[in-house]
Amino acid sequence: MNKGILLITEDTALAADVSPLLIGQGYPVEVCARAKDAVAAVTANPPAVIICDDKIPTITGRELARLFKSHETLALIPFLLLTAHLPSVADLEQAGLRVLADDIIHLPLNEPSFLAAVARWMALETPPRTLAERLSGPLSGVGRPQDALPWNRGRSSCATIGRLLYRLYRDRASGVLRLKGERRMMHALIHEGRLVEVKSNYLRDDTLGRFLLDQKRITPKANELSLKTALQENIPQGRVLVRMELIDDAELEHYVARQKIARMTNLFEKGWTESVFEFHQETVAPNVFGMTPAPLSHILKEGLFQVAEREELERIVLGHGKESAPVCLGERFVEVAADLELDDELHELARGLEGATFSQLIGRESGEAGRLVRLAFLLIITDAAFFDEGEVRRSIDEADRSLFRTGAASPTTGTWDVEAYEQALARARTFFNRDDFKNAKPFLLKALEYNPESSVALAMLAWSNHQLGRDNLAVTYDAKELLKKALSLDDTNDLALLFLGRIFKLEGKNGLAKSYFRRAGEINPANEEARHEVKLLQIKQRKARSQNPGR
């Protein structure tokens, strides 16, 4: 690999602006004026850094980034995207968008910021964190950039679930959280950052009686008798316990809420590791509240301090090679500490973490080490603290925090209004999930006004249009084109894959449909609809073979 920079752009004016700036800093620059020659140019003479214009007539810079990051060797070369069409990193994170470039440089160029960003990436000894790492969060398990998913879906771990719960609490989000593991599922309703209902399929092991038994509130005999009666009469076990005068109505309400909170904190058990989760914003009506709302910040803290195994937290940190990096409190510490309601003792312990490494924390006396490890882990995943990995990494973290405070303007949309985008998408999804496509459509169009490149909104709009005009061939064609555009923006959009599969299935192209359904299920194992579609096609194929054994 040489020490130069490859600039990919078909815009001669942009090349004339950018090249002299880089050459003036002493960097050798090669310009690739045709996107189709980019792979050959990089393979022939691998540069230290690739800078690519997003606006290329034949292929977007984001599509080129995906191409490079899917290659085993070329993925190692830093890929910087020049764009006028994407919001700040902080807003990208909040909106859950996916971009595979290592960094984003906004146009028109701010020369000092541009040269500083290039200098960070040219310092290969201590490169900054990639965009995928920043969007996925600390200790997220992201390997190469193409492994990165939006913060609202992925594989469960103490880090990913912890970060998810804090984000939902911090953003006062409302919607549905679904988790699927081996032989276990969970479905939780969230309203304004608080848990209002949760259901799971643990059957006998997850009954209210079992919970009260664990709390030593009833005896094993009372549990068995009340459960048997509840099954025979098809009524909740709690009502039987009240009838047996083992608990009263007030206690029933209290224990039902505590049981549901315990279900959520159990997500921090090793049994949920490697399960898949996804959160979708929706409007949650008060009439579905099954319990007194419980702040997700409390569930997060209780899960990490009471349920998570200390060894599992240490394994995650060690697996990311962070054990020797000092922990430093960030500028959001005070805000996060207030959200988590850290008491005076934990405040004092947190202040004492400054400058200590995880290796040092693990080496403390057993009781103290356990609390310090849990507290440090909690602060890291909530962005109240960070790993001090050198001046270069600190500088880009500070730039991100500055963007988070001040916001950034998007040339295509004016001020990037993430909150308005999320609200419009949540309202749209509420109607969409009821198959009310007519009322979903205006909110999808509104979401796309705020973010014209929302892959999720495009997929939902395409399917809404198709369902509203499914007998019209032109509508079907346009729907397929919209779905392809959604996938060009995010090839992990399992909804777009599912809907494309359904259209091909309606067209009688079952083999093609099946491939799309399978891909959707591989990307997101929590997508039960895709898995169900595969089963239906398999049954149809078996019937066809049995009816025509000679074919």
β-strands 409-410, 414-415: how paired? antiparallel
State the Cα–Cα distance between residues 396 and 391, nearest whole angstrom. Answer: 9
DSSP state of 98: -
State the Cα–Cα distance between residues 163 and 197, nearest whole angstrom. Answer: 20
Task: Give the three-state DSSP class for 281.
Answer: strand
DSSP state of 270: G
pTM of the model: 0.78
The per-residue pLDDT for 141 is 61
Least confident of 50-54, 194-198, 450-454, 476-480: 450-454
The per-residue pLDDT for 134 is 79
Phi, psi for residue 277 in degrees, rounded to 5:
-140, 155
State the Cα–Cα distance between residues 187 and 185, nearest whole angstrom. Answer: 7
The per-residue pLDDT for 283 is 86
Decide if 316 contacts 362 (C-beta within 8 A): no
Average pLDDT over residues 329-338: 92
β-strands 49-53, 79-83: how paired? parallel
pLDDT at residue 313 greater than cutoff 70: yes
Neighbours of 90 (CB within 10 A): 22
pLDDT level of residue 549 (50, 70, 90 thresholds): low
The per-residue pLDDT for 164 is 94
State the Cα–Cα distance between residues 484 and 208, nearest whole angstrom. Answer: 47
Q: Which residue type occupies 180?
A: K
Average pLDDT over residues 375-404: 67
State the Cα–Cα distance between residues 259 and 208, nearest whole angstrom. Answer: 7
Give DSSP secondary structure letters for 139-173. Answer: T----SGGG---TTEEE--HHHHHHHHHHHHHTT-
Give DSSP secondary structure letters for 41-60. Answer: HHHHS--SEEEEES--SSS-
* pLDDT tens figures, 222-280: 989 998 999 899 988 888 998 999 989 888 888 888 888 998 999 999 888 878 899 99
Place of tokens 């997060």: 300
State the Cα–Cα distance between residues 134 and 142, nearest whole angstrom. Answer: 10
Please provide the average confidence, as pLDDT, over all residues in the chain.
Answer: 86
* pLDDT tens figures, 137-183: 778 765 555 666 778 888 899 999 999 999 999 989 999 999 988 77
Residues 6+ apart with CB under 8 A from 230: 236, 237, 239, 240
pLDDT at residue 23 greater than cutoff 90: yes
pLDDT at residue 526 greater than cutoff 90: no
Place of tokens 């549905």: 176
Residue-range domains of the chain with CATH: 5-144 (3.40.50.2300), 157-286 (no CATH), 309-389 (no CATH), 414-547 (1.25.40.10)
pLDDT level of residue 456 (50, 70, 90 thresholds): very high
Class of residue 270 by CB neighbours under 10 A (exposed 0-12, middle 13-18, buried 19+): middle
The per-residue pLDDT for 489 is 83
Indicate the helix (H) or strand (E) that contains 279: strand 276-281
Place of tokens 């194992």: 525
Average pLDDT over residues 302-319: 93
**What is the token pair recorded at 62?**
């984001």
Average pLDDT over residues 10-19: 94
Least confident of 128-137, 232-241, 411-420, 541-550: 411-420
pLDDT at residue 136 greater than cutoff 80: no
